[in-house]
Amino acid sequence: MVTVMELYQLLPKTNCKICGESTCMAFAVALLGRKRNISDCTPLLEGNFKKQKEKLEVLLLPSAGAEETGMIVHPELCTGCGNCVVACPVDVANDPRGAAIGCAPTNDKVIFKVVDGKVMASNIKECRRFGKNRVLCYACIDPCPTGAIEFV
């Protein structure tokens, strides 16, 4: 996963404040959090920074398809083991007689489902990383040995 420092190194680092952020580091943080776009940094669009801009686009490409919580599921890495389905605390709370005990989900309130051998996320608003009172939950990433789920 890309880091703030990696993004910062590619920015003009002039702290020009044109974008509205106080520093280029603050802009990098906003960029990573998908609150800002590369195009908000006008000096970057000028000729001198063409290569940096292209590199930034490549770095930020994986997060383009992310859910509102920043979740990305890589279907090519998923083995469909269902560890995330059973480990997710929201699935456990919403489906105590299904997903919580390792069985197939019995209702549609769960976040993770395995379809055609690959995991799919739905009900993303239920995720603990969603909304105002979000928490930095890692329950679905930790049990995935292949790294098929990540948050950006």
Partner 1 sequence: MATCPGCALLCDDIDVIVENNRIKETRNACRRGAARMKGCFNRLAPSIAQKPVDIESAIRKAAEILKVAKSPMLFGFSNSTCEAQVKGIQLAKKLGAIIDDTSSFCQGLLIETIFQEKFRTCMLEDVRNKADVLVYWGSDAQDSEPRHLSRFSYFPRGESRQRGYEEDRIAVAIDVRESNTAKICKGHFYRIQPKGDREFILALTDALSGKVPAYEPKKILELAAILKKAEFGVIFAGIGLTYSIKEDMEILVALADKLSNFHIMPMVGHYNMRGFNENLFKETGFVNRVKFEGKAVQHSPAEVLDTPSRGVTLVHDDKYSIVEALRNESIDALLVAGSDPLSSLPRSLVRHLASIPVICIDPCVTMTSKITAVTIPCAVSGVESGGTAVRMDGKKIELSKIIESDYPTDEELLTRLMEAL
Task: State the residues that interact with partner 1 by CB under 8 A.
Answer: 78-83, 85-87, 92, 96, 100-105, 113-118, 143, 145-146
Cβ closest to partner 1, residue 52 vs residue 79: 79
Name the minimum Å distance from CB 87 to partner 1: 5
For residues 148 and 77, is the Cβ–Cβ distance under 8 A? yes
In angstroms, give the least distance from the CB of 105 to partner 1: 8
CB of 124 to partner 1, least distance (A): 19
Burial 43-81 (b: 16+ CB within 10 A, else e): ebeeeebeebbeebeebbeebeeebebbbbbeeeebeeb
Core vs surface per residue 122-149: b (16+ CB within 10 A) or e: ebeebbbbbeeeeeebeebeebbeeebb
Report, in Å, the least distance between residue 63 CB and partner 1: 24
Q: Are strands 149-151 and 112-115 parallel, antiparallel or unpaired?
A: unpaired
Question: Which C-beta is closer to partner 1: that of 43 or that of 143?
Answer: 143
Q: Toward partner 1, which CB reaches closer, 97 or 134?
A: 97
- Nearest to partner 1 of 5, 136 (CB atom): 136
